[in-house]
Structure 1
Amino acid sequence: MIKLTGLTVGGMFIDGYILGIIGTAIAAATAELNMSLFWEGLTGASALIGIFIGGPLGGWLADKLGRKPTFTLDLALFLVGSILQFFVDSTWQLFGVRLLMGIAIGADYSVSWPLLAEFAPARLRGRLMSLSEVAWYVGFMFAFCVGYAMSTVFSADWRIILGSSTVPALILFLARLGLPESPRWLMNQGRTEEAHRIAHDYLESPSDVLDLAGESTRQGTFGMLFSRDYWRTTTFVSVFWFCTVTPYFAIATFAASVLSDYGLGDGFGGALGLNGLALVGVLVSLALIERVGRRKLILPTQWVCAVVLLIIGLWTSAPPALVLTCFLVFAFANAIPTAITGVYPGEVFPTEIRGIGTGFGCAFSRVGAGLGTFLLPWSMHNLGPGPSMLIAAGVCVVGAVVSQVLAPETTGRPLSETSAPHRGRPRREKIPA
């Protein structure tokens, strides 16, 4: 279980790494390749575009071919793209390679979370899965440090800086070889004997082994996401994920300039505090998720995000210290539900559509991340800071309302229960100890 968790969160580390390392190399690449502003922005967003494509594709493959082969194939694809970064000599090649790596990362989201959910003991499932967000932040910050050191201390070429992702990718690829197939996926395929053998070898809880009997052998389809049984689940996962990441991607990406627009100097110190508190929020979520429960963590924190952004948007003449405080509170509160965006999909979708359901939610969230990142500068310039923050607050309100109505409590419960069809899902308010 420890090895599988490490190999799963390793994929998120790599995602954070490739999104962080581009920021330290894009200026040099732009100058050498003579990129236009359009291509510079497109190259910076290429990994996000790739995740949008790779999420549903990888989820579909994970449900059809199995978790194990997809888990290895997506990282092999990433490794190829990472190596190709050493040899790019044109704008379109750089965009294409980064797009390929994004597709691999999106696929990894869609197989790693379902795979971990299907092996993790119910009592620790949320904590193990939320480790992924911690790994993402660590990967992002580590990439920034590596890129900064390579560019300033060693004056390394930007291709070498980008290609440095090959090292963690190769280590992770080799470590993933030989992992077992998910026993739940095997049960879904009718391979009962093989499933029980793997379950007895790798599942630590006898109750989790017994829960395999609840698996069906029906084949999943994309249309099942919008069926009477699961449209509420799909709506919740997609909207919750979208509304959680959209404001943060926008504000965090342009933190320094946004804070500067509110009279907070160059905004650099505030931007560091913003991202630092986000990491603290993720760690708090990690510590409390099994004690407090998913629903009790995400509901109040989403409303807190909406309120502080509403204050900033309505009180346009607020003292800079109050504005900074509100942004810091937002970063901390937003990180708590963000850590759970990867937990819910693996729990609320059944085995036959767990991969494609996770992939669809991931793709939908990346639409929000892209819109937030690209539209915030335009909104700040054309509408002004106040209306921009009101729009962000509105996104948080939508997420909070949808979660209030649709978010289930899944803490400590077996997957056969948390992923049951909505119309047949038993109502249980008490969270098992």
Structure 2
Amino acid sequence: MRIGSKNTTGWKATISVAMSNYIESGSIIAIATSLVFWQAEFGIDDVGVGLLAALSANAFGAAVGALLGGPLCDRFGRKFIYTYDLMLYMVGVLIAAFAWNFGSLLLAFILTGIAVGAGVPASWTYIAEEAPKNARAKHVGTAQLAWSVGPTIGFLLAVVLSPMGLMGSRIIFLHLFVVALVTWWIRQGLSESGIWKDTKAMPVVMGRAGGIRGLLSKRKNLIAILFLFGVYGLWNTVAGQMGIFMPRVYATAGVEDPMNQNLLQVLLWGCTVLSTYFGFMKFGDKVSLRKLYIVGGLLGIFSWVLLIFVEASTPILILFAISWGVAAGIGAQAFYSLWTSELFATRYRASAQGVLFFLARMAVGILSYWFPTLLVEHGVPFVGWIMLGLLAASLLIGAIWAPRTQGRSLQEIEDEREGTGAVTTISDTPSDADRFSGSAAR
């Protein structure tokens, strides 16, 4: 069954495109829950584990895919990417499911990462462009919801299939293949982004530089990139380590049973699902985004303060899982996907997503390569201080320079930012911070 007519938009389109986020996060969790089994099966050392994590959908692989996919999405259309990227993804997860040695596993993780990197910027861009202006946060939040459901189901499957060992992990990768195949089939009935088609049809607009060249040609775009990297890149460097290595953090903190580690992750991601729906999606179009961002940021910092300063115990780890889970639901990723779609013109919107996703995943990859060794040699408090510093910086940047874009159409925002008015721009000078922060604050 196809999704409908060639003009199909709305929630069905939003949900099918948002599934890019499910398979992205699902890939990361499939890797996280299987690393111990792969390590034992193929005799991989900690450096090899770091390399697998760094080149996967969690880091460098996705970074390369985003840098390629973003400009292609602006040139050939949003539908071009989300039609073909899943084919590469399916090849990657199939190789992972049947991996026979370290080299084949590394190839699988790289291919999967490239496909994820190409697909996620396209999905975030498409959803924002097709969403009503007064419900943009709700629609964009659907991608965050799918991203949260992926780990919840992934860790549940890991709990159920853990008695099967490595075979259980292979089944988890096969489940991702099936989800990707069904999603690809459904997407064939979707129409192209209306805003992108309108822009392509306008000679005046098309005469201006698009893609990465157009993106980097304007000072206000460079300022917006720095702002959004501060918001998302720093936060995601923390979240990226947690996505891959959190079971190892639990083990270092004293929870050595893999099933209990995965159950803590089910709790964490279950709270993220609830927080995304009842927090960001319900209130993102109604309340001050700046205040909502601050609440999420403070909760994230609180969760890592627990791991650094309080002796690890089951109640403390449960409280950590709940607090981080809620924080992630109304955290930097949801705001980033919303603001990135709003702060860049249509002709280079996906390129901006690609560049930012590239930078964010590069940062994750750099730390991922060293994280397992740092954790083993220095323990949870040491890596906790690194996490705390990154989270605090992300909180301050987002709280001070949050743009005022709520309730306005993407075209209205683009006209203003591309013209002489600058109400929605990120502050060029510190004295403008109050005028541009908090937006929504209405």
- TM-score, with structure 1 as normaliser: 0.81
Quote how far apart the aligned CAs of 1:61 are: 0.3
Q: Which residue of 1 aligns with 2:16?
A: 7
Code of the aligned partner of 1:282: T
Code of the aligned partner of 1:411: Q
Q: 2:62 aligns with which of 51, 55, 60?
A: 51
Instruction: Answer yes or no: is 1:166 the counterpart of 2:177.
Output: yes
Q: 1:120 aligns with which of 121, 125, 131?
A: 131
Quote how far apart the aligned CAs of 1:415 are: 0.5
Equivalent residue runs for 1:14-413 within 5 Å: 14-45=23-54, 46-48=56-58, 49-85=60-96, 88-146=99-157, 149=160, 152=163, 156=167, 159-190=170-201, 218-226=208-216, 227-251=218-242, 253-255=244-246, 257-258=248-249, 268=261, 271-283=265-277, 284-306=279-301, 309=304, 313=308, 315=309, 325=319, 328-337=322-331, 338-383=333-378, 385-413=380-408
CA distance in 2, matches of 1:376, 1:223: 35
Is this contact kept in 2: 1:184–1:215, CA < 8 A? no
What count of residue pairs does the alignment treat as equivalent? 411
Quote how far apart the aligned CAs of 1:396 are: 1.6
* Deviations 1:337-388 (CA, angstroms, capped at 9, x unpaired): 2332322211221101111111122122223433454444444455554443
Unaligned stretches of 5+ residues in structure 2? 1-9, 425-434
Code of the aligned partner of 1:17: G
Is this contact kept in 2: 1:187–1:216, CA < 8 A? no
Code of the aligned partner of 1:47: A
Question: CA 1:100 to 1:185, structure 2 compared with 1: closer, same or farther past 3 Å?
Answer: same
Code of the aligned partner of 2:300: C
Unaligned stretches of 5+ residues in structure 1? 193-213
Is this contact kept in 2: 1:51–1:107, CA < 8 A? yes
Code of the aligned partner of 2:417: P
Once the two structures are overlaid, the 10-residue window that deviates more, 103-112 or 274-283, is 274-283
Quote how far apart the aligned CAs of 1:155 are: 8.5
- TM-score, with structure 2 as normaliser: 0.80
Question: CA 1:225 to 1:26, structure 2 compared with 1: closer, same or farther past 3 Å?
Answer: same
Give the alignment's Cα RMSD to 1 decimal: 3.5
Identity between Structure 1 and Structure 2 (%): 25
CA distance in 2, matches of 1:270, 1:165: 22
Quote how far apart the aligned CAs of 1:305 are: 3.2
Code of the aligned partner of 1:177: Q
Quote how far apart the aligned CAs of 1:150 are: 5.2
Once the two structures are overlaid, the 10-residue window that deviates more, 361-370 or 55-64, is 361-370
CA distance in 2, matches of 1:308, 1:27: 25
Question: CA 1:159 to 1:258, structure 2 compared with 1: closer, same or farther past 3 Å?
Answer: closer
Is this contact kept in 2: 1:307–1:393, CA < 8 A? no
CA distance in 2, matches of 1:308, 1:123: 32
Question: CA 1:25 to 1:325, structure 2 compared with 1: closer, same or farther past 3 Å?
Answer: closer
